[in-house]
């Protein structure tokens, strides 16, 4: 039995959920999110709780049970508080700036890298070397942060590149004479 899936998702004050067929919509102060629930899982709304249950005892169904419960929890937290990822850019001459709805990165290439900010995501550049990505969809915030980091991941010798704030980079020793 799933230890995660059997826990009901509680709806905090100001957050409401509606279920029509397999479509679940969660609405809160920050916005609204929708999810199509997998057909192998039953979802019921009872008062201020959303309960998720498997339809049978198959292995895949039990795995989807916990996955759906977690995704619903992430939706509830997202519409109430939102999610945020912070990136830092390290390296001589490496910097970023916002130009309209594009994030412009200068990462030591012969050209600047332009990243079009997707709808539902807000990016704030505090300094030229720090980027704050925020939104209500946890998956989308994480995906945008991973795509930006993917342009120049931190390298192990000098640590230059784009990294998450607080990420530890295992450093290698350079060549010896």
CA-based nearest residue to 6, from 49, 58, 38, 48:
49
Confidence (pLDDT) at 60: 87
Pick the CATH number of 83-164 from 3.30.70.141, 3.20.20.70, 3.40.190.10, 3.90.930.12: 3.90.930.12
Where are the domains positioned within the chain?
9-80, 83-164
Q: What is the strand order of the sheet 95-99 is part of?
A: 95-99, 102-106, 113-116
pLDDT in tens, the chain (177 residues): 567 778 888 888 988 999 898 899 999 999 899 999 888 898 898 888 999 888 888 888 888 888 899 999 999 999 999 999 999 999 888 999 999 889 999 988 899 999 999 998 999 998 889 999 999 999 999 999 999 999 999 999 988 999 999 889 888 888 887
Confidence (pLDDT) at 25: 92
Contacts of 74 (CB under 8 A, 6+ apart): 138, 139
Its pTM stands at 0.85
As a CATH number, domain 9-80 is 3.90.930.12
Q: Is 148 helix (H, G, I), strand (E, B) or coil?
A: helix
Confidence (pLDDT) at 1: 54
- Same fold yes or no, 9-80 and 83-164: yes
């Amino acid at each position: 039995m799933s230890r995660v899936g059997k826990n009901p998702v509680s709806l905090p004050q100001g957050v409401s959920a509606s279920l029509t067929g397999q479509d679940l919509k969660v609405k809160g102060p920050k916005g609204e999110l929708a999810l199509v629930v997998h057909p192998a899982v039953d979802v019921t709304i009872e008062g201020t709780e959303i309960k998720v249950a498997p339809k049978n005892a198959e292995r895949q169904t039990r795995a989807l049970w916990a996955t759906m419960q977690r995704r619903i929890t992430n939706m509830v937290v997202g519409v109430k508080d939102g999610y945020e990822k912070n990136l830092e850019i390290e390296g001589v001459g490496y910097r970023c700036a916002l130009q309209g709805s594009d994030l412009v990165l200068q990462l030591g290439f012969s050209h600047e890298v332009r990243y079009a900010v997707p709808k539902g995501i807000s990016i704030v550049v505090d300094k030229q070397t720090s980027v704050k990505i925020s939104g209500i969809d946890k998956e989308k915030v994480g995906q945008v942060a991973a795509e930006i980091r993917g342009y120049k991941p931190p390298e192990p010798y000098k640590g230059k590149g784009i990294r998450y704030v607080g990420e530890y980079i295992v450093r290698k020793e350079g060549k010896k004479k």
